[in-house]
Amino acid sequence: MTAPRRLLARLRDLRAHGAAPLSALVRVVSAELVSEVCSVYVQRPGDILELAATEGLNPNAVGRTRLRIGEGIVGLCAATGTVMNLPDAQNHPAFAYRPETGEEPFASMLAVPVRRAGRVLGVLVVQNRTPRHFTADEVDELETVAMLLVDLLPESGATEGSPEGLAGTVPRLFTGTALMGGLAVGPVLLLRGNRAPIRLLADDPRAEQRRLEEAVDRMQRGLDDLFAGIPHSGRPADVTASREVLDAYRLVAADAGWLRRVSEVIRGGVTAEAAVQRVATELHDRMRRIGDAYLRERLADIEDLANRLLTTLIGDGPTGPVPEDAILAARRIGPAELLDWHARGIAGVAIEEASPAGHAAILARALAIPAIGGLRGMLDSIEPGDDAIVDADEAHLILRPEHEVREAYRRVKETRGAKYAGLASLRDKPVVTADGVGLKLMLNIGLALELPQLERTGADGIGLFRTEIAMMARGLITDVAEQASLYARVLDQCGDRPVLFRTLDLGADKLLPGTVSEEENPAMGWRSLRVGLDRPAVLRRQLRGLLLAAGDRDLSVMFPMVATVAEFKAAKALLIAEAKRVRPTPGRLRVGSMLEIPALLWQLPELLKETDFISIGTNDLAQFLYAADRGTPSLYDRYDFLSQPMLDILEQVVATAHAAGVPVSVCGEAAARPLEALVLAALGVTSLSMPASAILPMKSMFAGVELAAFRSVLAAVRRGATGRLREPLATWTRERGILTP
């Protein structure tokens, strides 16, 4: 019998004779792991960790030795939820000396948190005199014992940790990242992953392996049924899946890697459900250590599948009605789980860990569910019965709002719903200002799922098709035929309306498996066109797919993150070379450049001789201009887009391009903000590209403004301003009813 199975067998025998005291458990663990000390610390009210049992330390310290959460190595283990494996614990900066324990002779320490549903109940510790790192097998065994303690510690009076430590009656405001705009006001549904107690120890590992395989098969069939029942026509809000995202999820579900790890744990002597739970915990720990948001989202898909498999094994999925206007609060959520909850009627989503590029965010946008991510600490502050407000337009979650605040948001939501219903009459009308200036409003999209928004909004075309989004959803760079199929669907849907295809913009926060960046600042490193030029086979494959999709139709292709004219010429040469090999050739082939890197501003005359159009990406242009990472929350409001330097640049680009006869559009986030869009139009930009939700409100706004009058105001404000320009411009528009909440 292997050491882990022998340990589990002894612990099972111990439990079989009734409630096993912690003192007996630590003796067994100490003997089986050949450790000189084994101790259990239990969490008490007030965020205190108390020594509850020990084998090897002074027994008189039991009940006397206490540490605060975050104090000492044990307290740090509890606070962070991470394993502490230290060869020389007493020289660690966090070590807290407690003379009553008599632990001076012991150098090495292994501390493992005991967790239930993400909250710490206590800490299990082993120590030895010899300075050494504990092996991976020893860590594995102690973590398995920690799973047993989940049921034992509450019997010893353990309380669940709550880092916030706040009363559940005080309103709280959390600010995160908007995943899908909109408002939701209602009761909170807390998704913490609490499940019925599971059987831990197995009598027959081979039988447990068969149970796992049967459960995987049932889970796969359940996913097929879930996806097959999804409508693919009707209102965009009812189109509940995209082929790209769901195919990617299926690929992850079929990946043998994580299931192989579950099988390994089963062979150690635990049940199938315990093994799945263990792997889900390991994935959670891995995600905590990964800085890249997209890779965390990929692991979140696997964790979602592990939880789904656990539900299949023990049969305790969500039941009962969902309250009206309910807001789902989760640490993470996968696409299948989001589809489940959407079908049950949730009105909004608040997620502690999510990025705009993740699968859940993509589906939230497709389903038009107001959603916010990056709400750290949210779950620890939520109490049963709480109400909340999801203000996804401002990326705010208001927990336990005051009555007046809640009612004010309800009124805004009702007014906005009526307003948007009235805007539908503008769908088929051209965008024209009150003084007769015509504009073009285009869509920013990246999935075939979003194509119905063309008809719903009456957009003039697609000003930015993000070709990398579908590949990120699939988790791989697709082949020529698959790319051509997607691009052809886009062109078919658009008909005579223009489509600007941006080539792969990978790198920074948008990664595919195998493209992990170890750069200190990936936003300014190997990304976008640099990747395409260094890996020309990948770029050629995409260009060939675009050309095949176009056939004899017009095709517009633009390259992202161009820093020099030489880079643009090299990319353009690849496109032209591919066009000579593909038949039929496009009716008209237009080649454009994104303008995102300030260095290109000093090369404009030369660039304009080579390019057919320019599209300004305001997001990267602003972050490079101000050396301010747009992903850093503390810098969100530090640098205003409506500033003299930015407007001077835009004015220069528009004037130079118009003189050369080259059209200019803007496809960054600024184009979707009303005041910024108004300023861009006043500077001479006549084509703006934005998300679908902004098209109709923007049509309404432009119809009510005399652009010539606003242009005069803008010029006067710029001449006289010594600080920010936003306030006087916003005041002028509000006073005339142009911009309203």
Say how many CA atoms lie within 13 Å of 650 toward its Cβ. Answer: 28
CA dihedral 728, 707, 654, 623 (to 10 degrees): 40
Whether cis (ω within 30° of 0) applies to the bond prior to 584 is: yes
Alpha-carbon dihedral sign for residues 466, 472, 473, 479: positive
The one catalytic residue in 359, 396, 403, 658 is: 359
Separation between Cα atoms, residue 114 and residue 146, nearest integer Å = 5
- Supply 207's token pair: 């039988």
The Cα 503–Cα 542 span in angstroms is 7
- Residue 489 is which amino acid? R
Confirm whether 667 is a catalytic residue.
Answer: yes
The secondary structure of 487-517 as a DSSP string is: HHHHHHHHTTS-EEEEPP--BTTB--TT---
Length of the chain: 741
Paired with 122 in beta bridges are 42, 114
- 3-state secondary structure (DSSP) of residue 84: strand
Position 662: which residue type?
V
DSSP letters for 452-484: THHHHHT-S-EEEEEHHHHHHHHTS---HHHHH
Are 209 and 272 spatial neighbours (Cβ–Cβ below 8 Å)? Answer: yes
Q: Count of CB atoms within 10 A of residue 741's CB?
A: 6
| Helix extents (H) in 332-377 | 335-344, 359-367
User: Nearest CA to 459 among 425, 493, 427?
Assistant: 427
3-state secondary structure string, 531-551?
Answer: HHHHCHHHHHHHHHHHHHHHC
Structural element, H or E, at residue 412: helix 403-423
Contact 223, 248 (CB under 8 A): no
Could you tell me the end-to-end alpha-carbon distance of the chain, in angstroms, rounded to an integer?
Answer: 70
d(CA 126, CA 713): 72
Dihedrals φ, ψ of 399, to 5°? -95, 135
Contact 329, 191 (CB under 8 A): yes
The answer to whether the CB of 225 falls within 8 A of the CB of 339 is no
Q: Is 125 exposed, middle or buried (0-12, 13-18, 19+ CB in 10 A)?
A: buried
The structure tokens listed for 468 are: 């990398």
- Whole-angstrom distance, CA of residue 61 vs CA of residue 136: 30
Question: Is residue 494 among the annotated active site residues?
Answer: no
Torsion of CA 310, 312, 315, 316, to 10 degrees: 50
Catalytic annotation, pick one of 38, 77, 494, 667:
667
Amino acid at 312: T
Catalytic machinery residues: 359, 667
